[in-house]
Amino acid sequence: MTNNPLLQPFQTPHETAPFHLIKNEHYLPAIQAGIDAGRQEIDAIVANPDAPTFANTVVVLERSGDLLSRATSVLFNLNAAETSPEMQRIVKEASPLLTEYGNDITLNDRLFARIKAVYDQRVSLNLDTESAMLLEKTYKRFARNGANLNDADKEKLRAIDKELSQLSLQFGENVLAETNEYVMTVTDEADLSGLPDFVLEAAKKTADEKGLTGWAFTLQAPSYGPFMQYADNRTLRETLYRAYNGRGFGSNATDNQANIERMVQLRYDRANLLGYQTHADFVLEESMAGSSQKVTSFLDELVQYARPAAERQLAELTSFAKSCGFTGDQIEQWDYSYYADKLKKQQLDLDDEMLKPYFKLDNVVEGVFAVANKLFGITVSENKDIPVYNPEVKAYEVFDQNGQFLAVFYGDYFPRPGKRSGAWMNDVQGQRIVNGVNLRPHIVNVCNFTRPTDTKPSLLTFYEVTTLFHEFGHALHGMLANGQYESLSGTNVPRDFVELPSQVMENWCYAPEALHLFAKHYLTGEVIPQTLVDKIRASQNFMAGIATLRQLRFGITDMYFHDRQPTGESVTEIESHVDALVNLFPQVQGTSFSTAFSHIFAGGYSAGYYSYKWSEVLDADAFEFFQEKGGLNAKEVAQKFRQNVLERGGSEKPMELYKKFRGREPSPKAMLRRSGLTL
């Protein structure tokens, strides 16, 4: 134990995780030691002879478990960004231990009795707003996780939670395995027609690294996306599409269909056990939306706006494809990106190849830092003395405008075999105030962007640029957090509120004043010309109806899985029901997007994927406020956003925080205007 770095004080800058010292054999002993320490802390609360108070029960419980959190935060961050078969084995072994430990706390009758005693006195306690929220959240955490169940039902809940944790891990591992294993090799140069040099160079490098002849294309986003967008060979586009959308759907060891059906059933059973009609009812009780009925109505209303626009856009795109030589009646899903890119170039004289020279990764990173500086006064500087978990990762210190240290920020931007696909933000250390000391957060952004080649630096597509800004918005939510309690700090907010900061930041990618800060040609240093900026702004609504329907397809599918009693329908049958409402393309036999839908089956978005569209209403309304008051110069608006959203986390109800920022409730009109979906 004395040699285990996870169990010793971190002798590093800002007490950051000593990734260079931590080995796989350290995790399980540290987790077990953390569990043992946590149990002792809980036992001390329960054994306290004094009458229960907010301070001696709720606050002490909030402060417990630090040793365990330190080990698990490192482990689970790395399992997503830098995993290995050995680490996956460790996580599988640790997860049931952690589930059992969590249940031992929330199902502890004597502990809950003390919490309830405090909760029953809440009106007379005169707590500040944040402390009152902590008391409410703590009570609900126990009540919503079985504290009021009888002993037999508590055991059922334990069994369900344990199985769900294992199934979620297995789902994610299956998707990662199939993503990593697939390679499409092309040896005939004629089959590469249409692909830009940067795609060919990356594919050649991938083939060389894998010991293959020719060019190798994978299911990683920087390989898959450009191939679908540029490759003239329709047969190969179909091949790659089927591989990508067949992940977890192969009737093999990594098939996720049975995992989905079991998880959906267990989530339903768990909700029933706790007194809720469905899993969606359980989840949405604590959301900004408040109910499954409101979410369903929201999604249905957006379909009414989006579908007519999408139908017009698809008809236009099909007609354009035919003018380019397409001979079918209707384009397929593997044709969409290809022809949409060509139509955008024809209509707007714009494509990614025109923009990428202005979006060198290093410049975009410095650009998002510059935007944050303009808005919130923060500065970000690299510190190479902070340990990182991979040489590609950069660690930064973040300071306020007065030079006060705010946070550590890690940027991890390239795909690797040990990293799951997508982009996300995590924290390795959350923010909280203990004994008057403001413990500052350590925040991670993880992405999968286009790698540099032998001849070019990493040049981002515009979508990748918006992704980087999106994830940094989440990072700001974590880094600027300024609450008393970690469980209410930073991004610990309802799912349909957490996307507000991230999506607000995306808007700056379309703002000329922001683009001029960082969009500079990687060879000449020329600032992006206004003509291209105008085209970027014009492209914001390009195919917006189809893009909106795609998002609604995910959200409605999520609700279909979780807002009703499971009927035994297959994953394919469920997708067919949803597709009748929101998918304008022909169904593709042998594919399923649900079997790789990690957001809801390996992440925390079950019955919550609608939140991306919900947050679009918020972010469009919020960004109009910035624009009305001067854009990047709207210091007063930025300060309101920082004080009432970014700093406050979940310390108040989301709608109250939003109204304090905006002065009123959000209006959907801004989102409909921005998307061009008004009828």
What is 419-430 written as a DSSP string? S-SS-EEEEEE-
Taking the C-alpha atoms of residue 369 and residue 378, their distance in angstroms, rounded to an integer, is 8
Query: Which are the contacts of 633, defined by CB distance < 8 A and separation ≥ 6?
Result: 374
Distance CA(528)–CA(518), nearest Å, equals 9
Q: 361-376 b/e with 16+ CB inside 10 Å = b?
A: bebbbebbbbbbebbb
Distance CA 13, CA 3 (A): 20
What is the rounded CA–CA span in Å between residue 424 and residue 422?
7
Task: Give the number of other Cβ atoms within 10 Å of residue 642's Cβ.
Answer: 20
Cα dihedral across residues 25, 28, 30, 32: positive or negative: negative
Give one DSSP letter per residue of 239-292, joined into a string: HHHHHHTTTT-SSSTT--HHHHHHHHHHHHHHHHHTT-SSHHHHHHTTSSS-SH
CA 95/CA 168 separation, integer angstroms: 10
Q: What's the per-residue H, E or C state across 500-529? A: HHHHHHHHHHHCHHHHHHHCECCCCCCECC
3-state secondary structure 121-133: CHHHCCCCHHHHH
Phi, psi (5° rounding) for residue 411?
-110, 120
**By three-state DSSP, how is residue 398 classified?**
strand
Q: Number of C-alpha atoms within 13 angstroms, CB side, residue 381?
A: 7
> How far is the C-alpha of 598 from the C-alpha of 600, rounded, in Å?
5
- Alpha carbon distance 143, 153 (integer Å): 13
Angle at 386 between CA 382 and CA 391, to 5 degrees: 80
Helix, coil or strand: residue 674: helix
173 among known catalytic residues: no
**CB neighbours of 34 closer than 8 A, spacing ≥ 6?**
65, 67, 68, 69, 70, 71, 72
The neighbouring-strand residues paired with 445 are 411, 425
Distance CA 532, CA 512 (A): 10
SS percent in the chain: helix, strand, coil, step 5: 60, 5, 35
In terms of phi and psi (left: phi > 0; alpha: psi -120 to 50; beta: otherwise), the region of 65 is left
Residues 6+ apart with CB under 8 A from 141: 106
Pick the catalytic residue: 62, 397, 471, 624? 471
Determine the Cα–Cα distance for residues 341 and 350; give it in Å rounded to an integer: 8
Positive or negative CA dihedral for 432, 434, 440, 445?
A: negative
Residue pair 90/75 in contact by the 8 Å Cβ criterion: yes
Rounded to the nearest 10°, the torsion over CA 87, 89, 92, 97 is -80
- Which neighbouring-strand residues pair with 433? 438
- Maximal C-alpha separation, the chain: 82
| Active site (catalytic) residues | 471
